Amino acid sequence: MEILFLGVGEACDSAHGNCSALVTTGTRRILLDCGFSVPHRFFRICEDPDCLDYVWISHFHGDHFFGLPLLLLRFWEMGRTRPLQLIGQEDIAQTTYTTLELAYPGFTEKLSFPLQFHIVQPGTSLQLDTLHLQATQTIHSQCNYGLLVDDGRHRLYYSGDGRPTQQVRQLVHGCDLALHEAFTLEDTMPSHGSVSGCLQLMREAKVKQLALIHLERTTRRDQQGAIEQFLLQQPGLFLPVDGDIVHLE
Ligand SMILES: [Zn+2]
Ligand SMILES: [Zn+2]
């Protein structure tokens, strides 16, 4: 499994793209979230219109899904014909079409490839080809699902936004890599994760590696020393930047 960080930033971070990762496992590719800045970064590396199989949307905040219209527009322009499978919460189909129509009125009818939708509910699982997917709700200002992706060899968790719950701890237990939101250094915001909260989660749930993403931009810029102190406390805890790649062997 290969994980390419397309972005590691929060919504307003002009130095880092909105947090998103492109995961490749075997011949399958899944894009984890698609915020404002994601399509431009994605198409820097993608020249094949059929290169993407799945898109996961953790929740409907703009920095996690407002890139969808541009993603679909560019695939259309490139001549894509393969279905694209979108996975998310109950409203994923309706919200996708509404957003598409707002961005490019009339475009839905012109789409040259089918959109197929899958809903993942907490407590259930979804098997798509070789991928086994499970979701659980986090503590966020809007309903957000963290996603566990299991390809039979490795287990990857992507938090989207929000603080972890006891269910998150159970879901991520022993996983190979977690990409987790850490907006602040300590748990000072009720609906966001933190660096210290991620460290605690990693230890309690025996997560092998944890990438801190979605750091609040001034914290990332001004608190480098404090962040470094956290990283030194736990092997496997790291702060990726846009373009970093992790291989799980
Ligand atoms: Zn959010
Ligand atoms: Zn966000």
**Residue 46, helix vs strand vs coil:** coil
Q: What percent of the chain has pLDDT over 70?
A: 100
- Which is the catalytic residue, given 13, 33, 53, 63? 63
* Total number of domains constituting the chain: 1
Mean pLDDT of the chain: 97
**pLDDT tens profile 63-111:** 999 999 999 999 999 999 999 999 999 999 999 999 999 999 999 999 9
pTM here is 0.97
Between CA 99 and CA 129 the distance in angstroms is 28
Picking from 94, 104, 17, the residue whose alpha carbon sits closest to that of residue 63 is 17
> How does residue 123 score in pLDDT terms, banded at 50, 70 and 90?
confident
Residue 191 CA, ligand 2 centroid: distance in Å: 11
Cα 140 → chain centroid: 15
Q: What is the pLDDT averaged over residues 191-209?
A: 98
Closest CA to 30 of 58, 52, 59, 8: 52
Query: End-to-end CA distance of the chain, in Å?
Result: 7
Dist. CA 44 → ligand 2 center (Å): 22
Q: Give the β-pairing of 54-56 and 28-32.
A: parallel
Which CATH number does the domain housing residue 67 bear?
3.60.15.10
Q: Shortest CA distance to 57 belongs to which of 43, 80, 38?
A: 38
Q: How far is the CA of 182 from the centre of ligand 1 (A)?
A: 12
Query: What beta strand segments (E) does the chain contain?
Result: 2-7, 20-25, 28-32, 54-56, 84-88, 115-119, 125-128, 131-137, 145-150, 155-158, 177-181, 209-213, 237-238, 245-247
Q: Residue 68 Cα, ligand 2 centroid: separation in angstroms? A: 15
pLDDT tens for each residue of 22-76: 999 999 999 999 999 999 999 999 999 999 999 999 999 999 999 999 999 999 9
* Ligand number nearest to the C-alpha of 33: 2
Domain limits for position 88:
2-247
What is the distance between the alpha carbons of residues 61 and 172, in angstroms, rounded to a whole number? 23
Which ligand number lies closest to the CA of residue 36?
2
Name residues whose C-beta falls within 8 Å of residue 195's C-beta, 6 or more positions apart in sequence: 182, 184, 185, 186, 212, 215, 227, 230
Indicate if the pLDDT at residue 211 is higher than 90: yes
- Asked if pLDDT for residue 247 goes beyond 90, the answer is yes
Per-residue model confidence as pLDDT tens digits over 148-188:
999 999 999 999 999 999 999 999 999 999 999 999 999 99
Number of the ligand closest to the Cα of 11: 2
CA of 239 to the centre of ligand 2 (A): 17
* Residue 20 Cα to ligand 1 middle (Å): 13
**Residue owning tokens 């009720």:** 190
DSSP states of 19-41 as a string?
Answer: SEEEEEETTEEEEE---TTHHHH
Q: Does the active-site annotation cover 13? A: no
